[in-house]
Structure 1
Amino acid sequence: MATRIRPSSKRCVVIGGSGFLGRYLVEQLLDRGYSVSVFDIRQGYELPGVTFHLGDLCDKGALLASLEGASLVFHCASPAPSCDDHALFHRVNIDGTRTVLQACQEAGVQKIVLTSSASVVYEGTDIKNGMEDLPYAKKPIDYYTETKIQQERLVLEACDPEKGFLTVAIRPHGIFGPRDPQLVPILVDAARRGKMKFLIGDGTNLVDFTFVENVVHGHILAAERLRPDSPLCGKAYHITNDEPVRFWDFMSQILVGLGYDAPRYRLPYRLVYVLALLLWLLVLLLRPVMKLRPTFTPMRVALAGTHHYYSCARAKQDMGYQPLVSLKDGVTRTVESYPHLRRVA
């Protein structure tokens, strides 16, 4: 008969640990003396002492094998928001999360820290210093967000201190940093194709961007402060740099830092939004005949032209959160990490 390994408080599993955020999380956990395993569909790197378990999130058997002896799980697996694959979003964010919860409960895991998203409360209109008690979006900006809302609900509702099963959700916003496969490469690609000449709106809208190491810091603080008697149980927490910045100023800093021109020409927000909406409707109408994937969507226009920044007051109060890296230093480190994307004169 197989003997079950007793869960250790320093033994953890990072689900989605091959991704951008996941890898930083693994590295920081190792630095803090944790024993770390990764469960992912692929292995993106090698680190001494890290065991990789490759498998599908919906395969409970594979998950159970990776969770043996772990007391803590970080669940940060998710398809990229830009992939626009509805079936994949549902399978990973909803079906996969249900399987994760079942496997964790069966394996005797005591704590789950979920990587959620601040966009679960965003409907494409202004949010200024938003608190966690804002209602979930009734009209989410995209299907990714719709499935993240359902995912967060599943995880927080599973919290049961009496049974020793504790959950918490971290809601970062606008994650960026070195090795980021999304924001900087997409921005540079648009600039190279001459698509970054225009800014949408009057350019004054404030947005949160969060350096990846600050997001990781929030995750680890949450894990370490999550106890049966703590206020964290079953709650969501915004984690940002706590330095709202003008959206187009931030984009310009990245572009100029890599040798590209900053956007100069202003386009009225309402006009651009209506055009994006019409294009989106056209794509829907043509979907049975041909598959189009426009980069110009109502969701992206809203993100570029509205205020959306969030309060970290609850995270400061309940877990002592303070950003470790300033926005200025984060931008500098990010720009310096992409020499291959720099504009050649």
Structure 2
Amino acid sequence: NSVLTLQDAVVLLVYTEYFDNRPLLVAQSNKRCAVIGGSGFLGRHLVEKLLDRGYSVSVFDIRQSYELPGVTFHQGDLCDKQALLPALKDVSLVFHCASPAPGSDNRALFESVNIQGTRIVIQACIEAGVQKLVLTSSASVVFEGTDIKNGREDLPYAKKPIDYYTQTKIEQEKLVLEACDKEKGFLTVAIRPHGIFGPRDPQLVPILVDTARRGKMKFIIGDGTNLVDFTFVENVVHGHILAAERLRPDSPICGKPYHITNDEPVRFWDFMSEVLVGLGYAAPRYHLPYALVYGLALLLWLLALILRPLVSFKPTFTPMRVALAGTHHYYSCERAKQDMGYKPVVSLKEGIARTVQSYPHLKQGA
């Protein structure tokens, strides 16, 4: 009998999901997910890819920045559980990628969103019956401003985080991973991207171009040989979805963090130069000693701190930015390859080209 019965279909689904280890055939009820922070740079790219894969998506964010068929938007404060719960109705999978951008010195904001907001997310997920929570963490949770070469996930959390963003991301990741409970059917995993870039990025490329236009991108900090991970946004999205679709009680990924990068460490200043030259600006040429620049940045930061009650000014170069620009910091993706079958889907070269092409309005003379 060549007719596929309902019972046959159920058996086929079960076999495919648990034994075949290919992309999962998920029942339509499990294709409902929520993206917290879905109006942001990474969040929107994630939403678009989820739609391509047949998911219906609920977005929760403080603002709505776009409209897409198949997406329901919910606006509200992350610390308001009653505002968040409607976005999680009938949802089995949640991606939590909401966070203030790095670089701010607003400690209260980082603590409110990354720590208190994440506590609310976990409570709301459990209350709403959500089964899976995928957190966007950061590789910076192990970075203290000194060299990291091919860093693995078993590196200890930074004892001296480089900024409030990192400090609160450490606490956020701990909260999410400790909430993983197989017995209660609530599974969690943390994705640690590094140096995300791509089309619609509101941070790296616009800030780089603004700095170049003001004539402040002439100098290389250090000898220029330090290797860094930059990760194209589609690869970060790919890592999130792989983690979500493999997050099951029998999976080794439950309650663990995973580095997701382009797996192509590149010289920091080569990357910056390629983006700048692609947009028509001159690459930095002159070298400044790392120790000198870091010392000056530290002095200016302390001065700004002391004078804050009297006058407000923000130094261009902070110790954190100098450390990021002048040290090695790249990470191993071996655990993600082994446990999730991760492999970058867009090369670094292609990612840079697509990013540069997406900013015609930032080109020299535009």
Per the normalisation by structure 1, the TM-score is 0.97
> What is the CA–CA distance in structure 1 between the aligned matches of 2:116 and 2:357, rounded to whole Å?
39
Structure 2 residue 57 is matched with structure 1 residue 36:
yes
Are residue 24 (structure 1) and residue 24 (structure 2) matched?
A: no
Q: Which residue of 2 aligns with 1:170?
A: 191
Matched, 1:214 2:223: no
Q: Aligned equivalents of 2:201 and 2:292: distance in 1? A: 31
Check if 1:268 corresponds to 2:289.
yes
SS in 2 for 1:152: helix
What is the aligned partner in structure 1 of residue 173 from structure 2? 152
Matches of 1:95 and 1:209 in 2, distance apart? 29
CA displacement at 1:9 relative to structure 2: 1.3
Q: How does 1:112-123 map to 2 (within 5 A)?
A: 112-123=133-144
SS at match of 1:322: coil
Q: Distance in 2 between matches of 1:173 and 1:300?
A: 14
In percent, how many aligned pairs have the same letter?
83
Q: After superposition, where does 1:50-65 map in structure 2 within 5 Å?
A: 50-65=71-86
Counterpart CA distance in 2 for 1:110 and 1:81 is 30
Question: Is 1:252 aligned to residue 306 of structure 2?
Answer: no
3-state DSSP of counterpart to 1:231: coil
- Say yes or no: does 1:223 pair with 2:250: no
**Alignment of 1:278 onto 2:299:** yes
Please provide the CA RMSD for this pair: 1.1
Provide structure 2 residue ranges, at least 5 long, that are not aligned to the other structure: 1-27
Counterpart of 2:66, as a letter, is Y
Deviation of 1:83 after TM superposition, in Å, equals 2.6
Q: Which amino acid aligns with 1:26?
A: V
Aligned residue in 1 for 2:261? 240
* Counterpart residue type for residue 159 of structure 1: C
- What is the CA–CA distance in structure 2 between the aligned matches of 1:150 and 1:171, rounded to whole Å? 14
Higher Rg of the two aligned structures: 2
TM-fit CA distance, 1:222: 0.1
Which residue number in structure 1 is paired with residue 220 of structure 2?
A: 199
Q: How many pairs are equivalent?
A: 340
Following superposition, the deviation at residue 65 of structure 1 comes to: 1.1
CA distance in 2: counterparts of 1:93 and 1:311, whole angstroms: 25
Q: Does 1:327 align with 2:348?
A: yes
Runs ≥4 residues deviating over 4 A: none
- Give the alignment of 1:82-161 within 5 angstroms: 82-161=103-182
